[in-house]
Amino acid sequence: MSRDSAKTPDTRQHSRIVVDGLEHAPSRAMLRAVGFTDEDFGKPQVGIASTWSMVTPCNMHINGLAEEAGRGADEAGAKSVIFNTITISDGISMGTPGMRYSLISREVIADSIETVVAGQGFDGFVAIGGCDKNMPACVMAMARLDRPSIFVYGGTIQPGIKHRDIVSVFEAVGGAAAGRVSAAELLEVERTAIPGPGSCAGMYTANTMASAIEAMGLSLANSSAQEAVSRSKIDDCRRAGAQVVELLRRGIKPSDILCREAFENAITMVIALGGSTNAVLHMLAIAHEARVELSLDDFTRLGRRVPVLSDLRPSGRYMMSELIHIGGIRPLMKTLLDAGLLHGDVLTVSGRTMAENLADVRPYADGQDIIRPLDRPIKKDSHLAILYGNLAPEGAVAKISGKEGLLFKGPARVFASEEAALKGILGDVVQPGDVVVIRYEGPKGGPGMREMLSPTGAIMGKGLGDKVALITDGRFSGGSHGFVVGHVTPEAAVGGPIGLLEDGDMITIDAEAMSIDVALDEDTLARRRSAWQPPSRAPLRGMLAKYAHLVSSASTGAVTDLGLDRDDR
């Protein structure tokens, strides 16, 4: 359903309010100082939202990409203006108090892009993201502002030597604690795992979200499957800048693209690629901004018919750069489309439908084993299991590839923080057969819903990956694997059942029955609930306090404006 407006859209709908007319001479005067010419004031203004930062290799190169996007917009007849927003490095803050700010940064970034684009009167924008939270944040801002816009992925990192990546380092830490990795070996892994710019190398959260966003229709073809340092990524940015101008001319906005079917396409791709559990949280948040009805149950519904086809890390063998070398995700998308698993009639930022975009895509060459055929899947249904039960009445998200088994039953080993759990794992408190419980790490309880890559990496490194399970009201890094269940809701901090557990309580996680239960009767749970008190902690101030007060449950995307009337936005 390629779309052309019946009347010519006003490509300067927003910027003319800022710069046209006698009364806006002061605005023009200030803009002249930042490079505007007389001619520029008659052009549509395209913001370039850059998440450049030297705090992480994921984003260290994005300033150059932003400049390329700006050139593309300028050459197409617009006036580009680059602006920055923040980012937080998950990999660096992992396992520290700073990780509480990671998910919070998603809201800060979305808010800041909204603030600049709306405040400056940009007619459209390109948003360039490279790390886990700034990517969904960019798309949340696109949905919220509903101005012609395109997302560009900053690109994936190249593998370190010996096929290493950041998860190799986390797991080497566990190996060192178990005595299987020497101090010299750990140092060598540390020095060689991250060779340069780009997002983490496996099908972790960044590559998962890049693929989902492209499948949603908000990126140009192959934006999700390019290395950060490559000619193709430079070209992607230049084309995105030019295409936003075309979207302005045709009046195509995110609301023309972000229908329910677009979200179903994105979820389908996440499943087929074996992607991160964080995609569940972020897709719910993006749908909230787009005002599209989406729930945990949609992941279950689609998961029954979509198989896992990719053998990518963390549970598989390959990295994103290797998938890029065989053609990226587009041949997989074409396979899914031909099988009736993708909606082909949805509009994309190319101005064409998904089916039109994929019409000429050729299949993968024979001999590759990164992407399996539909008749020989890695798993016949989704690796993302939405579990319910007396431990998670509002749902939990499990990442179960099948390699860990589909059923785990064991006694609870309860910890009130990630740090305590990591100490227990490395110190042999956790034993084979245990269900590790990490609580008070949810959106409100953390606050910030920290990722648990340090504990899961330590479990793998200690050789316990197939011997213990882990459940939490926090969340997991896209690099986490094993028998893990996160996003347990209601969270402990609001009196959820996970907060009532005691050491030794028998927990059953059943990925086939989609259930997570503790062997306690309702009377026992009620008695514990009546005696429950939240743990004492230091008073919160600033961002943590505001977030804890505003944030919703993980089952609704952990957004901060749920229930607010936004009709006047």
Q: Which residues are catalytic?
A: 477
What is the widest separation between alpha-carbon atoms in the chain?
76
What is the crossing angle of helices 278-290 and 134-145, to 10°?
10
Per the rule left: phi > 0, alpha: psi between -120 and 50, beta: everything else, 485 is beta
63 φ/ψ angles, rounded to the nearest 5 degrees: -60, -40
As a whole number of angstroms, the distance between CA 215 and CA 184 comes to 43
Three-state SS letters, 244-290: HHHHHHHCCCHHHHCCHHHHHHHHHHHHHCCCCCHHHHHHHHHHHHH
Shortest CA distance to 439 belongs to which of 458, 457, 455, 461? 455
Element at 188 (helix H, strand E): helix 183-192
As a whole number of angstroms, the distance between CA 237 and CA 45 comes to 17
Cα 230 vs. chain centroid, distance in angstroms? 23
As a whole number of angstroms, the distance between CA 401 and CA 286 comes to 25
Secondary structure of residue 19 in the 3-state scheme = helix
Q: Which amino acid is at 78?
A: A
As a whole number of angstroms, the distance between CA 513 and CA 406 comes to 9
- Residues pairing with 164 in the sheet: 160
Cis-peptide, bond into residue 159, ω within 30° of zero: no
Indicate the length of the chain as a whole number.
569
Which are the contacts of 64, defined by CB distance < 8 A and separation ≥ 6?
A: 234
Q: Which residues of 19-34 are buried (b: 16+ CB within 10 A; e: fewer)?
A: beeeeeeebbeebeee
Helices and strands counted in the chain (H then E): 21, 12
As a whole number of angstroms, the distance between CA 321 and CA 194 comes to 14
Distance (Å) of CA 427 to CA 24, 439, 456, 462: 66, 19, 14, 10
Q: For the sheet containing 124-129, what is the strand order?
A: 79-84, 45-50, 124-129, 149-153
* Residue 537 neighbours by CB distance under 10 Å: 10
Distance (Å) of CA 91 to CA 165, 316, 412, 453, 460: 11, 20, 28, 9, 17
